[in-house]
Structure 1
Amino acid sequence: MISVGIDVSKEKSTICILKPYGEIVSRPFEVCHTERELSELASMLLCLNDDVRVVMEATGIYHLPILSYLKEKGLFVAVVNPFEMKEYRCQGLRRVKTDKQDAVTISNYGIDHWYRLKEYEAEESIYAELKLLGRQYRHYMRMRVESVLELTHLLDYTMPGIKTLLKGWNETNGKDKLGDFAEEYWHYDNITKKSEEQFIESYLKWAKEKGYHQSQDKAVKIYALAKEGIPTVSSDTPSTKMLVQEAVRVLREVDNTLMTILTQMQALAKSLPEYPVVRAMGGVGNVLAPKLIAEIGDVRRFHSGKALIAHAGIDAPPYQSGQFIGTERKISKRGSSSLRKIGYEVMRCLKTHKEPEDAAVYRFILKKEKEGKSKRAAKIAGLNKFLRIYYARVMEVYQK
């Protein structure tokens, strides 16, 4: 048995090859992620007359080139969770941290856990694409939060309090009423220079053009707020209009990107056999269904519903010592934080609407709340049940 430990960096990797009992086959050496050098590495490993297993840490995307290349050459490759490797690395008394030492540590891990190593299995291309789209969606959503904060900051100068009267972005249709309104009026002076009747007429015309509800009461409230508000930047300042409208433009560009990505995710998700089943579950709509499928991926890679729950990090590991058995256990949070966020959003949507036809999770949350659980704890318990049901129903689709 030969363990090949690979410490992966951005454009190169450090390799160490060991046999049991610390026998060194090859001391740590570097390999660049190029066709020629990876080909030489694969040829060398294939020439070793023994059972060879390659071990590496998951490193975001940096490990993918060498991983995919070695898999194509038919080598056994195991990808280890970085937290698990960190726990293994911390067993020693001396905390040496170099690329060469990390490669030795990973190689030793392969020897010590030889029979527990699980060969990496690539996801189907559609799940991999959904996962990539999901990551980019979250990236642009963070950009959107920053853009909204910047626009809100500017509106606090020109239209203080306006955000309380107008809704923001609608993820379903991509419309942003606050942004559209700020682009049109951008300063309270543009409202107060009109009479109330003139502004109401102007607002209703604007709402009709943009496809919003034409509410006269809303126009009256906005006009009253504009009369009472105290802008701290004059509308006569040349840069005021430019700054507000540029902030709206940036926000709109991000919104368009988000809608483009979401549309692509929906198209891919609808091509999967489990989509109708997932979409029919309580709390899951056209927006959350592709996000949920993208984050969970191929459910067949989990051996049970409990494994999916552990992947989400909402399992509560048992704690027992002597005669003491812990009952008030917190969730581990050792799993996908993105899946927990999406799952919690599903539970929130489930609770804010009337009881759905598929009401098992909804009633379970109500039951937990009646037992005295906090609303947040009840939703997490509901998510636990939701993922069990998700696993069972999707597996049933693939077993038919």
Structure 2
Amino acid sequence: MGVINIYYFDFISVGIDIGSKVSWASIITPDHKPFSRPIRIDHQSIESLEFLISQIKKAEEVNSLKARIFLESTGIYHIPLYCHLKESGFEVSILNPLITDSNKNQGIRKVKSDKKDALRIAKTAYTNDLKTSLIPSDVVLNVRALVREYHKLADDKTSHVNQLTKELAIIFPGYNEVFSNTTSKTSISILKTYRTPKRILATPRDELIDFIRKNAKKGLDAATKTYNKLINAAKIAITFSHQLRSSYDLIELQLDFIEIFEKKKTDILNRIKDYLHDYKDEKFVSQINLLRSINGVGFISAVSIMAEIGDFSAFTKPKQLVAYFGIDPSVKESGKFKGTKSKMSKRGSAVARRVLFIVALASIRRNRKGEANNPVLRKYYDKKQESKAKKAAIGALMRKITNIIFAVLRNNREFVIITPQQHIQNYNQLLKLVA
């Protein structure tokens, strides 16, 4: 007896494999039969785009079914085609490459081609409970692009700061101990004005103290303490250093780069604020402000997280947001084997993970009085460290913060620090009211 296939899907599937200049489309019917040969789409040809649309409409007419178009998320290259097809009246969805990747090896032969990939994407559409997404709003796309560039500039600046530190270790070994931040305004001003340990030692005491006080905008006592540290480091550098002329040239170069990157970061920050003001997306701005109520979350952190989330309504459970950020544990199991060491999957947003890491450190950081930014999370972190390594404890803390982010956005209420005991009391009171 032959095998009878029963299909429950009532749409034509169009899978498109995206390229930077050329894409390929495959149109199939619910019985997985190709409607036509793969269609080549030249992004610079109007005729090519019009032919694709005509073929999709022809497939709809012949089969008396509506078409659904599926594209893999490819960074930026899928956006113009997505918008063009939406404006042409089609239902278009975005697929996570991780979903379509899982279907690559269904055949025995290892085949990789754009035409085959387009067919694979089209077939993936006929999957029960298929997870799709839409292109975020323009304000999210604009802010997301600027936020990602902001973090790239921060990385570029860090690389030059590291190079500056290395050069100072050669010609001025103790300098990095004088300032907690080598790239502070005072530190950069000293390096640009006085340059060498000899010039620092030759400068009159009152002149140098006054220079430090004006740049640091601190009192005389604080400026004097910094002066004493600087003089001591300069004296040591006279006998314990190697005065390479190239190091001074490189330090000057690194300082210029650091100032350029810092200025560009400030420019981007101002543009982000302009976008948020110009687009007047009250919900998006409100969600950013809600996140800023969480201890350790500043403006750029809140904007970064919301830009990566996009439409929060797509998430119904905290674990979905945890997985989206890529901070969920990877699972290794096979037969009776169960892996005991699990690591972060890191399959989600790298920017979100980066920001969550920064927020996690900020939330448990102690001030001069020894008080943590968030005492509840600090206690949670310390407890985790009793049985886990530091990195694992930080990972657990990042997941905890993600749960807080989810709760704040779901409840549309600002964050308030509540101890576990208070949570229990509030829950019991709620039960009494319901009863």
TM-score band, normalised by shorter chain:
0.7 to 0.9
1:38 deviation in Å? 2.3
Q: Residue deviations 1:274-333, cap 9 Å, x none?
A: 233211212223443323333333322212212111111222367777888777644433
Equivalent residue, structure 1, for 2:380:
364
SS in 1 for 2:74: coil
1:151 deviation in Å? 2.5
Aligned: 1:380 with 2:391: no
What is the distance in 2 between the residues matched to 1:180 and 1:92?
64
| CA 1:153–1:363: 2 relative to 1, 3 Å | closer
Equivalent residue, structure 2, for 1:313:
326
SS in 1 for 2:412: helix
What is the distance in 2 between the residues matched to 1:96 and 1:35?
28
Aligned: 1:134 with 2:147: yes
Q: Is the 8 A contact 1:78 1:118 kept in 2?
A: no
Equivalent residue, structure 2, for 1:211:
216
1:77 deviation in Å? 2.0
Q: Is the 8 A contact 1:269 1:275 kept in 2?
A: no
Count of matched residue positions in the alignment of Structure 1 and Structure 2: 383
Aligned: 1:298 with 2:306: no
Q: Residue deviations 1:166-197, cap 9 Å, x none?
A: 23378xxxx54433332222222322334xxx
1:228 to 221, 233, 236: 236
1:254 deviation in Å? 0.4
What is the distance in 1 between the residues matched to 2:269 and 2:318?
27
Equivalent residue, structure 2, for 1:54:
69
Aligned: 1:278 with 2:291: yes
Q: Is the 8 A contact 1:186 1:244 kept in 2?
A: no
SS in 2 for 1:41: helix
1:89 deviation in Å? 0.6
1:362 deviation in Å? 3.6
Equivalent residue, structure 2, for 1:247:
254
Larger deviation, residues 245-254 vs 222-231: 222-231
1:191 to 187, 200, 215: 200
What is the distance in 2 between the residues matched to 1:220 and 1:300?
57
Aligned: 1:93 with 2:90: no
Aligned: 1:80 with 2:95: yes
Listed as ranges, the matches of 1:110-149 within 5 Å are 110-111=125-126, 113=127, 115-118=128-131, 120-149=133-162
Q: One-letter code of the match for 2:120?
A: T
1:337 to 322, 337, 350: 350
SS in 1 for 2:188: helix
Aligned: 1:260 with 2:273: no
Larger deviation, residues 302-311 vs 360-369: 360-369
1:10 to 20, 31, 44: 20
| CA 1:97–1:268: 2 relative to 1, 3 Å | same
| CA 1:180–1:84: 2 relative to 1, 3 Å | farther
What is the distance in 1 between the residues matched to 2:334 and 2:111?
33
TM-score of the superposition, structure 2-length normalised?
Answer: 0.78
SS in 1 for 2:380: helix
TM-score of the superposition, structure 1-length normalised?
Answer: 0.84
1:144 deviation in Å? 0.8
What is the distance in 1 between the residues matched to 2:243 and 2:329?
53
SS in 1 for 2:190: helix
| CA 1:314–1:193: 2 relative to 1, 3 Å | same
Query: What is the percent sequence identity of the aligned residues?
Result: 26
| CA 1:84–1:252: 2 relative to 1, 3 Å | same
Q: Is the 8 A contact 1:55 1:106 kept in 2?
A: yes
